[in-house]
Each structure stands twice: as C-alpha cells, then as structure tokens.
C-alpha cells in the first residue's frame, strides 16, 4: 500500500440544519446568534414532555431529487444529498470528469435509518447504511464507501476515515460528513433518560438538558497539492484528527475528562500542532450537567493555565444535537470561524452563571482564528477531535509513517455457530462441518423453516463478572468473549499506560438491534414501557464501548456499519493506522446477532433458504443468517517481534469499490467487485497467479454469487482454489469478512482449504477452481478475502503468510 501523509484541503462544504439549508444561510444564523430550536412540527412527542428541537424547516427535496428517487430515500438521505450537492458546487468539481473509482464517500450516523424505517420493513436489512448508499448512488461514484456509526462522534470519525483514504492514495476526492433525521426513537430515548431540556438548551450555563436536532453536513476533501494545481478555492485545511475511548460507562462521560483530553491531544499531535496555537474550540456542548462539567476539566487539562484565554462555544445551542451529523456540522462551523475570523456564540447562555472559561456567551464576536479544535463525544465512550485551520496559516508537521512495516495478526477469538475459540472454528472448517440449523426460538413465527446459525449460550466465567455480564445484551456478550479469547491467544501483557494506546475497531451490520427494537416497541406503548436501561445499548457502537470498558482500552476507536463489508473496513482501517504510525496494537472486532426482525426482513426479500446454503451452485436459493463475533489482535511487526509474539499472517493490500446494487438478475456488481479484488492484489505487490486461496463472500444468494464468480474468473482466473466459508458458518453479516479471514489464515498457517459445502452443480458459464471436499491441502503464501454489502459496497483484502 502506498502511504503519503500529505496536506488535506477542504474545497467544498454543504449543510442542512435548523438555522439554514445551505452554508450561507447557516453562517448568517450563526453570526446573528439565531436559535433554531423551536416547536416540533413533524413528530408527535406524546408522553415525552418536550416540544422543541432543532428541526429542519422549509426543506424542498425536489431541488435535489426527482419524485421517484425521493420516495426511495429516507429523510436523512435527503439531507445528505443536499449537503453533498452544495459541497460539490463550492468545490467547482464536475464528477463526470473524474474517475468514479477514485471518488469516495464516508458518512457518519447515530442510528442510521433504523429510526426512520418503521415496523418490519425489508429496508431494515441495509437501513443503517441506507443514507450513505443513497448519496453515493445519486452521485454515481464507485470508490470506497463507508458508514461510520459511533453515535454522536460519527460525523467527525467519518472525516478522519476520509483523510486516511487520501493518504493511502486510494482516492482523489472524498466526500465526508454526517447525517441524521429527528426521529421518535431518539426523542423517546433521551426523554426517558431525563436528558432533554424543556426549552432550548443552554450549554455551559444552565446545563439542564439537551435539545435534539437534525441535519447533515458534507466537506469535500482532496490533497492540498491537487487543489492548488487545479486552482480551487481552499476553504480550510484539515490539520489533524484523533479519537479515544473513555472505557468508563455506556452513556455517561468519564467525569475526569481523561478520554476527551486524549482525543484532543492525539488530534493536535497528528499534525504537530501545539495547544498554544489553538485559537478556538468548538465544544461538544450538549448542555447536560455531566458533559458540560467534563468538558471544563478537559479544557483545563489540555490548555492548562491558558484555558481561560481559549474561547469555547457550543453550536448545539443554535441547531440542537444532530447526533451523527454533529461532528460534521461543527467541523464546517469551525472552518467558517477561521475563514471569517469570528467566534460562533453559545446562545441561551445565562450570563449570571459565573465561569472561569470563555464560552462566547450569546453574541458572536470578531477574533483572530487560525486553528480550531472541534470536539465530539458519544455514548459508548467514543471521543473524536478534528483540527482545522485557516488555509496556509499553519503548516502541519505530521508524525512519521512507516509504510513498509508489516502489520500482523497475533491473536484470534471467535464465538458463533462453528464453536467457541479459533480451534473449534478451524476444526469445523477443515472437516466441512456446517453449523446451520433451524432455530427453535422462532417456532410459531413462520421463520422456523429457514436455516440459521444459533449463537452459543455463554456463561460469564472467564469473560466478565456476573454483574457486568447480566447487563450485556447478546452482541455485547459474544463480542466481549471473542475479544477476551483473542487477547489471551496473543499472550500480550501491557502496562496500564500502554493499554491507553490500544485501539479498537468494530464492524457490525445492525449493532444491538435486539435492544433497539425492544426499546422502540416499549416507547411506542408509553412511558411506563420505555426502559431507559435499553437505550444506551441501542447505539450501534455499544459493543465496542463494552469491550473497551472491560479491557481498559482508551486508544483510538471507530465502528463501521456498512453491512457485510464492515469487518474488512475495520480490519484494513486498523492496518492503515498502524502503518501511519498512529498505533502499534489494535483489536479488530466484528459481530452481529441472530435476531427475529433481521430474519423476518431477509425472508421478506426472499434471501433465506429452507434446505442448504449452496454458494456458486445452480440450485442456490438463499442463505442462512448466523449470529457470531470474531476478534483479531493486530500489531506492527516491530512491536510483535520485540515481545517475541507468534504471528498468524500479515495484512497486505486492500481495495474497496461500490455501485448501485440491486437484487435484479445481472445487477450484482461484478465489474465493481472485480476492481476491488484487482486493487487488493495490486496493492499487495503480487500478481493474481501468486494467490493460493480465495475466501469468497458467496453465501447462496444467486445474483451476488454470480457477480463474484464472474469477477473472480476475470481477476484471478480458473487456477486459484476458491472456497465459501458461509456454506458452513452462514452469513454472519457484519462479521463475514473476519470469518473469511479465519478461513484464509487456516490456509496460510496450516495449508488447509475451507471448502464450499453442498456445491454439486457449479454454474457452467464461469469456470473456477472450486474446493468442494473437506481435507484439501495446498501450500498457500497469499490469500484473498472478499466481502460485500447489500447496497453495493465491495471489499477485498490480501493476507500473506507470516514471515519466518
């Protein structure tokens, strides 16, 4: 993989929010200290006792989408399209003039479209990443696509992910930001927790509760030298990005401000920026007592005696808390603050409240602004900071990268239909044993006739104290178990200070959909049925937060919710950040549970089989969904060697592409998928003929399997052995890429090839070297792992044999 930490220019911005449906009107509202938190018009707030929010008004979707397309896209998708269209216009870029494979999209969201898709709707299968897919499809781009779901820090995380894609030279342009719509689910959740203010929120003064909002923001990112060369107007510069985990509580921030301080310091350190150079902080500023008190401590920790001289204000006081869009909207406001040398205000501020910090009360004011830190903190203890600056005013000095150092897997844990622990999984893969069966829990639902992979019923011993275990949902339990197993397998022993730098990257399709649905169902029945304990677990990154807390991890963290591609995105992002020199050790975790709602939606789309999962077979008629979690420990080769660690494999090149996916025959994304494979092989510095095994993504859905088969035939030819782990483990959804990686490691480490079970009649129009019988062996130096998401994201990663 090529890696060059180049300067990043912001050349376009777009926004939709409560004080303006474009950048010009929004900034006018900021400068005028306007508050857009008003009576809610689109939702019945029922029992919640709150009547105000930062609701988007006067939004005309017909300006951006025709009637048919608008009907297919949820409200959060409308906002994303509008913001992206404005950003492209500002950037002066004609996407038709660019290579579509060199344009990427990364979006942040809190709940995706789960709160917008009511009842049992087939769109729930891809609802988390639905808005991201809608935006990319509307623009016609085919490059990397990722939906990031770290609750209220998601928009900031999406921007950080985009920077890495630019540094890897995977893209020429990235559209990055966040979007969320106001939903009953979010209002009910924060309402039952007692977190909502009865009126417009007052951060840093009254601090009696937050006000929710909605909207989207997109920034156009491109390499600085490219922007200069084409004569673009550079609006701002992305100077640094940093994240951390609190490892403290599912919903409350660490009151010491430790995690928030780590995120700020990492963001500043990445660009070589001193805290003394910071002109202004755009705070998280939710107006909850716990957050506002914590932020004061974090400011004092990072800026020391200078803290009273560093202005800090809350954009949420004007637009409400826009959840997954907040980090993106506030980054945009930060860029504008530097561009105009104006400090945005904290409106609704009670000036009778004494404070030793400058919260820019109630009025914007002129002030030199060269460097801004924008902070976002979230449920699950996920913190993110973005540093932006006035163009050319402060030149970043990035920490050294190490592009030539190998990234290795040193620990593995797995829990699911094939067993508990990597050895049980590998034994099943070697023997060709299928873990799929009918699910007794679904008796009487009409779903009992379909195949699925049951989740093991684990006990807490060896994984967590009984009291902690009882509070976890199924996803939290299997994720923690897999992570404990991986950590033990790696035989890694770090000091508490070193544990602060261990990262965790998580991939999931729907997160804790169990608690999401249970809470939503109860809330719709009334306040007495709305369980406040369930709501914090309903955020999509909750399992990652539980694992960080249990293991004491405070390093960088991010959660990807891009369907079946999520695990590969998490794996390759972790590997990229190790090569960037940002981290030495990371847990890469992926998981989803077998839950009735997801099963019902898949059945409605005719994706499930009643007989056998038959990938690549003419008789294939569907897949079987399986609940599983898999975790890898990744390290830089130098770190692993220094402690004498055993290594399973090396993580080499990767590729991600996308298209407008459809289940219509012949529209499974073969060309785009083939490009993802080609890029993964090319970036690994090998030829396709050097591959010894392919862990295919095929899972028995004909249109998907056929697309992959034709792409494989074109890219790797007919001589490379191909197996489909889903024929044994089922479709593990967000974990599928790590399940495929388990099969690849088995081939690399032990020479055993996981077969495609039940394959008797391969399609005659494409010739592949199918592994159909258990026990097949080969000398494998390189293996390709494929993954794909409904909605049209395709990912491939090459794993290499560990160096001797």
d(CA 157, CA 108): 7
**Residue 495 token pair:** 């000091």
End-to-end CA distance of the chain: 21
Q: Which of 283, 245, 497, 490 is nearest to 375 (CA)?
A: 283
Three-class SS of 94-150: CHHHCCHHHEEEEEECCCCCCCCCCCCCHHHHCCCCHHHHHHHHHHCCCCCEEEECC
Report yes or no: 106 and 170 within 8 Å, Cβ to Cβ.
no
d(CA 712, CA 701): 16
**Residue 208 token pair:** 């009696």
For the beta carbon of residue 351, count every other beta carbon within 10 angstroms: 10
Report yes or no: 413 and 419 within 8 Å, Cβ to Cβ.
no
Report yes or no: 661 and 630 within 8 Å, Cβ to Cβ.
no
DSSP character string of 548-568 = HHHHT--S-EEEE--GGGHHH
What backbone phi and psi angles, to 5 degrees, belong to 406? -70, 150
Q: Which of 211, 782, 193 is nearest to 531 (CA)?
A: 193
In the residue annotation, 152 being an active-site residue is answered as yes
Helix (H) or strand (E) holding 416, with range, is strand 407-416
Active-site residue, selected from the candidate residues 152, 201, 558, 649: 152
Report yes or no: 451 and 608 within 8 Å, Cβ to Cβ.
yes
Report the length, in residues, of the chain: 804
d(CA 558, CA 244): 9
DSSP character string of 298-363 = HHHHHHGGGGGGS-EE-THHHH-B-GGGHHHHHHHHHHHHHHHTEEPPBTT--TTS--SS---BSS
d(CA 485, CA 30): 50
Report yes or no: 204 and 240 within 8 Å, Cβ to Cβ.
no
The greatest distance separating any two alpha carbons of the chain, rounded to the nearest whole angstrom, comes to 79
d(CA 512, CA 591): 10
- Local structure of 272: helix, strand or coil: coil
Helix (H) or strand (E) holding 475, with range, is helix 474-490
d(CA 481, CA 366): 53
In the residue annotation, 649 being an active-site residue is answered as no
Helix (H) or strand (E) holding 506, with range, is strand 503-507
Q: Which of 639, 536, 642 is nearest to 586 (CA)?
A: 639
Q: Which of 751, 752, 695 is nearest to 724 (CA)?
A: 695
In the residue annotation, 110 being an active-site residue is answered as no
d(CA 758, CA 427): 18
**Residue 604 token pair:** 């409605």
Report yes or no: 691 and 681 within 8 Å, Cβ to Cβ.
yes
**Residue 589 token pair:** 């975790």
Report yes or no: 772 and 754 within 8 Å, Cβ to Cβ.
no
- Local structure of 242: helix, strand or coil: strand
Active-site residue, selected from the candidate residues 123, 129, 284, 710: 284
DSSP annotation of 731: B
- E-assigned strand segments in 435-582: 437-438, 451-453, 503-507, 557-560
Active-site residue, selected from the candidate residues 123, 129, 138, 321: 321
Query: Which position has the token pair 């859905």?
Result: 701
Give the gyration radius of the chain's Cα atoms: 25
Q: Which of 361, 342, 211 is nearest to 288 (CA)?
A: 211
* Catalytic (active-site) positions: 152, 284, 321
């Amino acid at each position: 993989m090529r890696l060059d930490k180049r300067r990043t220019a912001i050349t376009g911005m777009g926004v939709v929010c409560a004080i303006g449906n474009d950048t010009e009107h929004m900034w006018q509202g900021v400068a005028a200290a306007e508050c857009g938190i008003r009576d809610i018009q689109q939702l019945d707030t029922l029992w919640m006792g709150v009547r105000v929010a930062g609701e988007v008004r006067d939004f005309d979707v017909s300006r951006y989408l025709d009637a048919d397309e608008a009907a297919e896209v949820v409200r959060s998708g409308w906002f994303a399209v509008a913001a992206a269209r404005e950003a492209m216009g500002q950037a002066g870029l004609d996407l038709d003039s660019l290579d579509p494979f060199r344009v990427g999209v990364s979006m942040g969201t809190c709940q995706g479209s789960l709160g917008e898709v009511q009842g049992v709707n087939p769109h729930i299968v891809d609802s988390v990443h639905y808005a991201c897919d809608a935006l990319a499809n509307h623009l016609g781009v085919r490059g990397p696509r990722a939906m990031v779901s770290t609750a209220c820090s998601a928009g900031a995380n999406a921007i950080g992910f985009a920077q890495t894609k630019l540094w890897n030279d995977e893209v020429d342009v990235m559209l990055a930001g966040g979007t969320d719509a106001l939903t009953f689910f979010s209002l009910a959740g924060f309402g039952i927790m007692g977190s909502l203010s009865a009126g417009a929120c007052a951060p840093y003064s009254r601090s009696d509760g937050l006000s929710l909002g909605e909207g989207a923001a997109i920034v156009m990112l491109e390499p600085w030298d490219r922007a200069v060369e084409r004569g673009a107007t550079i609006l701002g510069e992305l100077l640094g990005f940093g994240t951390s985990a609190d490892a403290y509580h599912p919903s409350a921030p660490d009151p010491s401000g430790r995690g928030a301080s780590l995120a700020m310091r990492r963001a500043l350190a990445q660009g070589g920026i001193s805290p003394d150079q910071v002109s202004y902080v755009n705070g998280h500023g939710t107006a909850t007592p716990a957050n506002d008190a914590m932020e004061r401590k974090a400011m004092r920790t990072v800026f020391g005696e200078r803290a009273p001289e560093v202005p800090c204000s809350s954009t949420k006081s004007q637009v409400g808390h826009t959840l997954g869009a907040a980090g993106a909207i506030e980054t945009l406001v930060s860029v504008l603050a530097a561009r105009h040398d104006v400090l945005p205000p904290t409106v609704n501020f009670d000036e009778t409240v004494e404070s030793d910090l400058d919260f820019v009360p109630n009025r914007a004011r002129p002030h030199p602004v060269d460097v801004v830190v924008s902070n976002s903190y979230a449920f699950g203890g996920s913190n993110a900071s973005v540093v932006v600056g006035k163009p050319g005013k402060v030149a970043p000095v990035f920490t050294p990268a190490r592009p030539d150092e190998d990234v290795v897997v040193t620990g593995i844990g797995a829990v699911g239909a094939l067993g508990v622990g990597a050895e049980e999984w590998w034994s099943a893969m070697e023997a060709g044993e299928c873990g799929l069966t009918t699910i007794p829990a679904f008796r009487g639902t009409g779903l009992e006739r379909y195949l699925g992979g049951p989740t093991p019923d684990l006990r807490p011993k060896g994984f967590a104290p009984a009291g902690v275990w009882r509070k976890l949902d199924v996803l939290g339990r299997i994720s923690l178990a897999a992570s404990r197993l991986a950590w033990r397998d790696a035989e890694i022993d770090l000091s508490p200070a070193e544990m602060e730098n261990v990262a965790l990257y998580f991939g999931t399709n729907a997160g804790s959909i169990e608690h999401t649905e249970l809470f939503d169902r109860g809330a719709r029945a009334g306040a007495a049925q709305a369980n406040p304990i369930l709501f914090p677990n309903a955020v999509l990154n909750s399992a990652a937060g539980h694992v960080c807390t249990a293991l004491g991890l405070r390093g960088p963290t991010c959660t990807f919710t891009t369907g079946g591609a999520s695990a590969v995105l998490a794996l390759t992002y972790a590997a990229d950040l190790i090569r960037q020199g940002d981290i030495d050790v990371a847990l890469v975790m992926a998981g989803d549970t077998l839950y009735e709602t997801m099963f019902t939606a898949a059945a409605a789309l005719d994706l499930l089989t009643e007989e056998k999962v038959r990938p690549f077979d003419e008789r294939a008629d569907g897949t079987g969904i399986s609940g599983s979690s898999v975790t890898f420990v990744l390290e830089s080769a130098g770190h692993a060697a220094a402690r004498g660690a055993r290594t399973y494999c090396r993580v080499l090149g990767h590729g991600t592409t996308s298209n407008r996916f459809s289940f219509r025959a012949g529209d499974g994304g073969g060309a785009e998928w083939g490009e993802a494979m080609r890029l993964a092989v090319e970036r690994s510095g090998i030829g396709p003929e050097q591959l010894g095994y392919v862990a295919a993504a095929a899972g028995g859905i004909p249109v998907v399997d056929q697309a992959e088969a034709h792409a494989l035939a074109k890219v790797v030819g007919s001589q490379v052995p191909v197996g489909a782990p889903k024929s044994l483990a089922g479709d593990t959804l967000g974990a599928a890429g790590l399940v495929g990686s388990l099969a690849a490691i088995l081939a690399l480490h032990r020479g055993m090839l996981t077969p495609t079970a039940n394959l008797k009649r391969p399609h005659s129009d494409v010739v592949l070297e199918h592994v159909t019988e258990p026990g097949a062996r080969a000398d494998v130096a390189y293996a390709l792992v494929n993954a794909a998401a409904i909605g049209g994201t395709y990912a491939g990663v090459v794993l290499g044999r560990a160096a001797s």
